[in-house]
Amino acid sequence: MYKRIVVKLGTSVLTGGGRHLNQARMVDIARQCAALYEEGNDIVVCTSAAVAAGRAHLNFPSLPPTITSKQLFAAVGQLQLMRVWERLFDIYNIRVGQILLTRSDVENRQRYINARDAFTALLDHRVVPIVNENDAVATEEIRVGDNDNLSALVATLVSADLLILLTDQPGLFTADPRSNPNAELIPEVRKIDETLRGLASGSVSGLGTGGMTTKLQAANTARHAGVDVVIAAGSERDVILRVTAGELVGTRFPALGSRLESRKAWILAGPKPAGRLIVDAGAAEAICFKGRSLLPAGVRKVEGDFLRGDTVLILDSAHRELARGIAGYTAADLRKIAGCRSDDIEARLGYTYGDVAVHRNDLILLTD
Ligand code: GLU
């Protein structure tokens, strides 16, 4: 059913809620991954808990809560983490390779392709890539920031069929299960709307960076890239095997459409949007339902400072995200030509790069 599977493990899963890596948990995960591997599946593990492992390995020193302390813990802990993963996969005679990424490694198309080639090389040689953010060196500007979004990026990068986000919650609930006894698990999500985003923002998990909000963002990115996504509890018996067998465990987000071709996948998962274009109703309809390009005439407002070729978000007048695309003009140019007919572009700017603000081939819809 699924061939290429990305398994993302939150810190809460890997520590079992404690302060140390929980190796009993980790061997259980390795066992499940190994079973799938034996069946011929490609497995990519996206692991968290480097910071937690580093803190434990250094015996919980009282350091200031600075980024530098985190970098220190990550540098030490990443090694501990990999030692454990290597040993556990070794039980099953499976080799692993480490890939540490930051957002800047996928920002431009060339680097994105380089990263993809590294994954492909490992998978072609039946090596299981174990991925984390490069926390020891990643500064705020260049990091993805949480491993949920990182795993969606990886799933997009390797054209995965399935992304499993394992956490300390059984999935997404209709209300906060800690305070509301009537809260029910949502088995399947086909539409990510404001209500769902609101529900997700209320939930947190202990030690990791992300909560349900980042899981929802990750699920949204991956399903638009054609990847099925499941959020489930890492402690659930045989969870990875059951999810991959299609059993209804946790909350499932079916892929929207088929997998994106490489360039579109990069637009979706690679660069961080550098600005936003707010468009009128006519333009929203044209890009969402008619497969058209975005023309300057439909642009109401330009936010941010971006160059031609940068990624921008396209929003409707209620600020709902409609699409992501590559800007055909700089922010400064677009401010001058917003609302004007394509024929008038040259008169306004003194030059033209063509009729469109964002070409439809450079545009990925984000609607359900
Ligand atoms: N990369 C972080 C770590 O390994 C975890 C980030 C997250 O929990 O999302 O510690």
Q: What is the pLDDT of residue 203?
A: 57
281 and 223 in one domain? no
pLDDT of residue 166: 97
Burial tier of 118 (Cβ tally within 10 Å: 0-12, 13-18, 19+):
middle
Ligand 1 pocket residue status of 325, Cβ below 6 Å: no
Give the model's pLDDT for residue 310: 94
* Domain end call among 265, 281, 301: 265
What stretches in the chain show pLDDT beneath 50?
206-207
270: CA distance to ligand 1 center in Å?
19
Most ligand 1 atoms within 8 A of CB, residue of 79, 135, 149 to mutate: 135
Per-residue pLDDT of 85-138, as tens digits, reads: 999 999 999 999 999 999 999 988 889 999 999 999 999 999 999 999 999 998
The pLDDT, as a whole number, for residue 197 is 85
State whether 160 and 282 are in the same domain.
Answer: no
Taking the alpha carbons at both ends of the chain, their separation in whole angstroms is 24
**What sign does the CA torsion over 266, 145, 273, 363 have?**
positive
Taking the CA of residue 74 as reference, the ligand 1 atom at the shortest distance is: 10
The whole-number pLDDT of residue 206 equals 43
Q: Do 188 and 242 belong to one domain?
A: yes
User: Given 265, 299, 318, which residue is the final one in a domain?
Assistant: 265
Whether residues 130 and 192 fall in one domain: yes
pLDDT of 212 reads 87
Q: Which amino acid is at 109?
A: R
Does ligand 1 lie within 6 Å of residue 208's CB atom? Answer: yes
Same domain, 100 and 187: yes
At residue 242, the pLDDT reads: 98
Same domain, 81 and 140: yes
Answer for the pair 163, 243: CB distance below 8 angstroms, yes or no.
no
Q: What is the pLDDT of residue 207?
A: 45
Task: Check whether residue 159 and residue 297 sit in a common domain.
Answer: no
147 pocket-lining for ligand 1 (C-beta < 6 Å): yes
Tabulate helix, strand, coil % of the chain (nearest 5): 40, 20, 40
At 166, which helix (H) or strand (E)?
Answer: strand 162-167
- Examine the domain organization and report whether 115 and 66 are in the same domain: yes
97 and 164 housed in the same domain: yes
User: Which residues constitute the domain of residue 56?
Assistant: 4-265
| Residue-level pLDDT at 201 | 78
Domain boundary among 265, 293, 312: 265
Please give the torsion angle defined by the CA atoms of residues 307, 313, 318 and 320, in that order, rounded to the nearest 10 degrees: -170
Ligand 1 atom having least distance to the Cα of 81: 4
Residue from 45, 132, 168 to probe ligand 1 pocket by mutation (most atoms less than 8 Å from CB): 132
Question: How many domains are contained in the chain?
Answer: 2
Looking at the fold, whether 245 and 298 belong to one and the same domain comes out as no
Taking only the tens place, the pLDDT of each residue in 241-294 is 999 999 999 999 999 978 888 889 999 988 899 999 999 999 999 999 999 999
Residue 165: give its domain's CATH number.
Answer: 3.40.1160.10
What's the rounded Cα separation, in Å, for the pair 198 and 64?
33
Residue 210, pLDDT score: 57
- Are residue 290 and residue 215 in the same domain, yes or no? no
Q: What angle do CA 2, 243, 159 make, to 5 degrees?
A: 35
Tell me: do 186 and 57 sit in the same domain: yes
